[in-house]
Amino acid sequence: MRVTFPHMGNLHISLKAMFQTLGVEVVVPPPCSKRTLSLGSKHGPEFACLPLKLNLGNFIEAYELGADTVVMAGGCGPCRFGYYAQIQQAILKDLGCALQFIVLEPPQRQITELLVKIKQLAGSRSWWKIIQALRFGYRKARLVDEIERVALRSRPREKIPGSTDAAYRQALDLIDCASSWEKLTAAQEKAKEIMDKVAVDFSRQVIKVGVVGEIYTLLEPFSNLYLERHLGGLGVEVHRSIYLSGWVNEHLFHGLAKGMGSGKEARSASYPYLRHFVGGHGQETIGNAVRYARSGYDGIIQVFPFTCMPEIVAESILPDVCKDFGVHYLTFIMDENTGEAGMVTRLEAFTDLLARKKEAKEALSS
């Protein structure tokens, strides 16, 4: 069995660790690129959301490298994610790509439902080995998320442009390469050291923006046209509302790991505006926007794929939230035709507006 999976930000680091610990051969698809997108757009349905197209491109590229099995998450509820796997499988079959699919549906009641699926992949490996593999992969996800958080804080304050990104890549490589718990502990310390070495100016005035929206476009930089990096370069400290480890903990492990935060707080904050589940992270988008607004963030950015139903619902409510709290917001809808230069122009105008508003507010209060 040569297993592959979709790219979604740095997800491959933890999945690779998990499968390799289980002794399963892994084919990591090449990072998302224009080729990935054009393969997915060519063979995927025109109005499918962007993640379906990019994932389809990932699977085709992984198949070219010798993968024979796809492992991906499934979904339920009022959004198309629940039938991604079936559609992708049918398309790949028509294209002659012989890939079997193992879909990890979010467990409805017990984590054992998920473990049974994982056992299918693990074959004769013991349950102890499976639990160790899950723990190891999850540990890497948490470390990667921590590095991402540090990078978001340091990018707008770095003294040498590009130094955060260079350190970020080095730190991630260290975590990725660690093949045992001991090596991972050493890699964690080294990664922290590397990130701490980035020269930053904490006295610099930065704008604080909360980024909300659909999980894939939040986590996969290629799909959001490197939004976080552009914002950091414009002197913006980004707070991203979703991280991989938090999502895995909530949706696959039923919140088993404590202290990871969850969508619960976001959902309860959304109640005055949206009181029920609309699929995906639509309700969390509203709740997190409320939380950012309450916490005094300068602005909110919503990002989601073209035709994403849950986020379209959230988009229609977001103006009310922002009006009530007097906070500015900007929405980016991503598809294969969205241009990076156009997005940067809008970001420049938005951050300029936020900076002026912040200056005026400070002048009034002094």
| Interaction between residue 280 and ligand SF4 (CB under 6 A) | yes
Dist. CA 243–CA 288, nearest whole Å: 13
Shortest CB 278 distance to ligand SF4, Å: 10
Phi, psi of 365 (to 5 degrees): -80, -10
Contact region for ligand SF4 (CB under 6 A) — 89-97, 180-188, 204-212, 306-314? 306-314
Dist. CA 338–CA 247, nearest whole Å: 27
Contact region for ligand SF4 (CB under 6 A) — 145-153, 184-192, 270-278, 309-317? 309-317
Contact region for ligand SF4 (CB under 6 A) — 100-108, 167-175, 256-264, 302-310? 302-310
| Interaction between residue 49 and ligand SF4 (CB under 6 A) | yes
Q: Which of residues 6, 9, 51, 299 is near ligand SF4 by CB under 6 A?
A: 51
Is 273:292 a contact under the CB 8 Å cutoff?
no
Binders of ligand SF4 among residues 160 to 219 (CB under 6 A) are 214, 216
Strand 328-334 relative to strand 299-305, pairing: parallel
Residue 200's Cβ-side half-sphere holds a number of Cα atoms within 13 Å equal to: 23
| Interaction between residue 26 and ligand SF4 (CB under 6 A) | no
The owner of tokens 């105008």 is 349
Binders of ligand SF4 among residues 310 to 339 (CB under 6 A) are 310-311
| Interaction between residue 103 and ligand SF4 (CB under 6 A) | no
**Beta-carbon contacts of residue 79 (< 8 Å; ≥ 6 apart):** 279, 280, 308, 309, 310
Structure tokens that stand for 324 in this block:
């009530």
Residue 132's Cβ-side half-sphere holds a number of Cα atoms within 13 Å equal to: 13
| Interaction between residue 137 and ligand SF4 (CB under 6 A) | no
Residue 329: helix, strand or coil by DSSP?
Answer: strand
Shortest CB 357 distance to ligand SF4, Å: 31
Q: In the complex with ligand SF4, which residue's Cβ is closer, 200 or 309?
A: 309
CA torsion through residues 226, 234, 260, 241, sign: negative
| Interaction between residue 40 and ligand SF4 (CB under 6 A) | no
Shortest CB 79 distance to ligand SF4, Å: 3
Q: In the complex with ligand SF4, which residue's Cβ is closer, 156 or 287?
A: 287
DSSP 268: H
- Alpha-carbon 289 to chain mean position: 17
Contact region for ligand SF4 (CB under 6 A) — 76-84, 110-118, 232-240, 295-303? 76-84
Under the rule (CB under 6 A), what is the footprint of ligand SF4? 49, 51, 79-81, 214, 216, 279-280, 305, 308-311
